[in-house]
Structure formats: structure tokens, C-alpha cells
Amino acid sequence: MTGQEALFEYLLRLGDNALILGHRLSEWCGHSPALEEDLALSNVALDLIGQTQLWLNLAGEIEGKGRDADKLAYLRDARDFRNLLLVEQPNGDFAATMARQFYFDAWHYLLLRELTGSKDARIAEIAAKGLKEVTYHLERSQEWVLRLGDGTEESHRRMQAAIDDLWMYTGEMFESDEVDQAMMRESVGPDLAALHEPWLGLMRTTAEDATLTLPQPGWAQRGGKRGMHSEHLGYILADLQFLQRAYPNATW
Amino acid sequence: MTSSLTRPDLEQIRTWLEEVPDPEVPAVSVMDLGIVRDVQWSGDDLVVAITPTYSGCPATSVIALDIESALRAKGLDRLRVERRLSPPWTTDWISAEGRRKLEAYGIAPPAENAGGPSVFDRLLRKPLTIACPRCKSENTARISEFGSTPCKAQYRCDDCLEPFDYFKCI
């Protein structure tokens, strides 16, 4: 794998995480438990889709085959997506959505913070922009984990179930493969393993304040970064890509 | 056609841009919000650099179009609007005039100088006190971290009971 190929893969991962989670959150539009939550979830989705455009346009430029963000988002099949398994998990109930968001936001925040110091100026620039938005996402998702965990018996039960069910998808966030290592050697990206401790620190403090029991580190489900996805991604793409598949090259 | 002899000076152009409203918060101009980062002549072409407030802000392309039409209406036909991502937009760039206009419009202006995002520290701190833009009471509560646009949060005044938007500090 050449340096350019690794960079392309790396940018796809950044873009696909934002795209798939953004799409998942947009599924709540019109269905949220309250109007304020509908607005908030849609706005977080919008931030993530905005970040997707920046990452995937840059990926297309690096690849040099004339693909832009739209082509990459709408015309790849599931095996070519590089997002984490965590972000493609179904919305479930509101607790599951917020637990998934909190796990991801804390990691996303730490990653973007490191990427603001990337040797690649374009990556640093997009990360600095995204970091400001993700800061808000993290504050919000943490607040919901606290509120539901330390809430009623029912909300506590649901939030505990959510953090338990999604836990096995968090390990993948901190594992490095040859792409991550190539980026580390070039000082483009950080050592993902080094993000684990600060991430766990925030998880432990938050779980304690929320009267939740954090699952023990254990077996991790992995594969998303290499294109090995859960069955859910295909259904997401069927929805996300429908228009371009049915009406190729349709534009507004 | 503008030549270097007849072209308007940059101060004049900035004054014209002060009349271009933000499409989502029309009470303030694109200059007040600090969205216009630079206005320069490049040979005979005018180059206006703008920056998005949020990555996914759908208003950015409308703003580019509004700026272009406003300047064309003033007779500038050789111009380009460029997007600039870095340094990322911050609410610290909203002018004093812009803050005043926001408040008069019913939107609480962003807290000043919140500094860089260090959320792991901020998560331990109490939320900011935001004054109601109507009655100025500080007895307010946050309803949602997000409002009608990504740049705003929703608050409620516990004295006059009006809900209001707060322009978030980033």
C-alpha cells in the first residue's frame, strides 16, 4: 500500500464514520420523543454530514479518479465502506441512540483533537472545524447518559442495557492496523491506542455519576474499518443510496 | 467592466457587504457575523473569502450567492467568492454591533471569550448563565443544546417565561 492509498483509506474512515452516524441520526427526524430532541438530533446529523463532505471531498481529491463526496457516498457498496461497526448499529430506543453517541463522541473528540496537530494541513484544518462541533455533541450526549442513568427506574434500566449492548463495538476504535500505522509514521494521525485511557477515564467518571455499571473490557467485535460490516449497513445504504441507484445522476 | 482606475475601494465594498443579511438570522449582516474573512483585489478580479459557521451549515452556499448578487448589482462583474476553512469560525468574530443587533432581535448573543474547546474540563464546570434578551433576567434554563439552526441553543426565561434562542459560543 502506497502512502497515497493509505491516506485515501484513512480519509474514507473519517468520512464514513460521520456519514453513517449522520444518516442514523437523521432517521430520528420526525420521530424523536420531544421537539427539542428532534431538532438536536437533526442538527448533530447536519454537523456530521457537513464533516462528511469535507473528508470525502478530500479523499476523492487524494484518490485522483474524479470521485467527489457525492460519488463516494452514493456509489460505493457496503464492502467499500470503512466506518466503525458502532455507528451503523440501529437507533434502538432513545437510550441506545444516546449511549452510541456518547461512546462515539468521546472518541471522536479525542481523535479530532489529535488531528488538529496533523502534519497534513488540510486534515488539521478540517479537524479544527469539526472539533468545535463535536465538543457540543459530547456535552449533550454525556448529559443524556447522566440524566437517563440517574433518572427513573425505567430510564436507568434502559441506559444500562444500552451501554452493555454497545460495549463490544467500542474496542475497534482503539485498534491500529497498517493504515493507522502508516499515518502515525507520517505524523498525519495519532496512536489510537493512546486515546483509550482518556476515553475510559471519561466513561468511568460518567458511569459513576450516572449510577451505571461500566462493562468490563473484553472481547471486541471488529471489522468495519476493513469493510467487514454487520447486516445493518446494507439496509442503511438501501435507504441512503436509493435515489442515485434508481435515477442515476439525478441532481436538484 | 471595472478597471483599476474606476474600481471602488475596498472600504466601499465592505460597506456594501454590511447590507447583505445572513439568510437565517436576517437581523445581522454577513460582516457582523464575521463570515466575510477577506476582501481583496487580485488583478482586476475581486476575491471575497467567506468561512462557514458550521461544517454542515446549509446557509453557506446561499450566503455566497447573496454576496455575489449584491456586488454584481453594484456593477462589480469580475468577482469570485472563495471558501476558507482555516482558521475555523468563532463567535468571537461577531462584531459589537452584531451582538447588539442579535439581542435586539431576541437572540441572546454568545458568551464572550470562551476560549478553545477543552470539553473534558468544561464537562466538570457549571453551565453558563445566559441573560434573557427580553427582560434581561439571568434566571434562565437551557431547554436544548440545539435550536432552530446548528449555531443556536434553546433557552427559557423563568421570569418572563419566554423561550428564546441563544447564539452558541464556539
Residue of A nearest to B163 (CA): A36
Q: Confirm whether B77 is domain-assigned.
A: yes
Would residue B90 count as lying in a domain?
no
B122 has pLDDT over 80: no
| Binding-face residues of A in 153-192 toward B, CB within 8 A | none
- Structural domain includes residue A251: no
Instruction: Examine the domain organization and report whether B15 and B69 are in the same domain.
Output: yes
Nearest CA in chain B to A44: B150
pLDDT in tens, A206-229: 999 999 999 988 889 999 999 999
Tell whether the model's pLDDT for residue A92 goes beyond 60.
yes
Residue type, B15: T
With a cut of 50, say whether residue B117 has pLDDT above it: no
Total domains in chain A come to 1
- Is B54 touching A (CB cutoff 8 A)? yes
What is the pLDDT at residue B127? 60
Domain count, chain B: 2
- The answer as to whether B150 is a domain residue is yes
Q: What is the DSSP letter of A27?
A: T
- Rounded Cα distance, A103 and B102, in Å: 35
Of B54, B86, B144, the CB nearest to A50: B54
Residue B152's pLDDT band (boundaries 50, 70, 90)? Answer: confident
Taking all residues of chain A, what is their mean pLDDT, rounded to a whole number?
96
Domain span holding position A138: 3-246
Lowest mean pLDDT among A22-26, A61-65, B115-119, B128-132: B115-119
CB contact under 8 Å between B119 and A51, yes or no, is no
Q: Which residues of A are less than 8 Å from B87 in CB distance?
A: 128
Q: What is the mean pLDDT of chain B?
A: 86
Give the Cα separation of A11 and A22 in Å (integer): 16
Q: Where do runs of H (alpha helix) occur along chain A?
A: 3-26, 35-63, 69-74, 85-88, 94-115, 121-149, 153-166, 178-185, 196-209, 232-240, 242-246
The answer to whether residue B5 sits within a structural domain is: no
Residue A152 pLDDT grade (very low, low, confident, very high; cuts 50, 70, 90): very high
Checking phi first, is residue B165 left (phi over 0); if not, alpha (psi -120 to 50) or beta?
beta
Q: Which residue of A has its CA nearest to B120?
A: A202
B89 lies in some domain: no
- Please indicate, yes or no, if residue B78 is contained in any of the structural domains: yes
B59-98 pLDDT tens trace: 888 999 999 999 999 999 999 999 999 899 988 899 999 9
Residue where one domain finishes, among candidates B83, B114, B133: B83
Asked whether residue B77 falls in the same domain as residue B121, the answer is no
What's the complex ipTM?
0.72
* B14 and B59 assigned to the same domain: yes
The answer to the question of residue B96 being in a domain is no
Searching chain A, which residue's CA lies closest to the CA of residue B147? A39
pLDDT at res. A168: 97
State whether B154 and A36 contact (CB < 8 Å). yes
**Binary contact (B85, A54; C-beta < 8 A):** yes
Whether A130 has its CB under 8 Å from any CB of chain B: the answer is yes
Supply the pTM of this predicted model: 0.87
CATH number at residue A205: 1.20.1260.10
Q: Which of B123, B149, B154 minimises the CB distance to A139?
A: B123
The answer to whether residue B113 scores a pLDDT higher than 80 is no
User: Which CATH number fits the domain that encloses residue B30?
Assistant: 3.30.300.130
Residues of A in contact with B170 (CB under 8 A): 132-133, 135-136
pLDDT digits (tens, 9 = 90+) for B17-48: 999 999 988 999 999 999 999 999 999 899 99
How much is the pLDDT for B3? 54
Query: Closest Cα of chain B to A11: distance in Å?
Result: 16
Residues B77 and B125 in one domain: no
The string over B63-82, giving b where at least 16 C-beta atoms fall within 10 Å of a residue's C-beta and e elsewhere, is: bbebbbebbeeeebebbebe
Same domain, B72 and B110: no
Q: Is the pLDDT of residue A245 over 60?
A: yes
Q: What strands lie across the sheet with B140-144, from one edge to the other?
A: B107-108, B163-167, B152-157, B140-144
Residue A250 has pLDDT above 50, yes or no: yes
Give residue-wise pLDDT tens across range A125-139: 999 999 999 999 999
Mean pLDDT (whole number) for A9-18: 98
Query: Containing domain of residue B15, as a range?
Result: 10-83
**Chain B residues lying within 8 Å of A94, measured CB to CB:** none
Residue B17 domain-assigned (yes or no)? yes
Q: How far apart are CA B153 and CA B162, in angstroms?
A: 14
Is residue B121 predicted with pLDDT exceeding 90? no
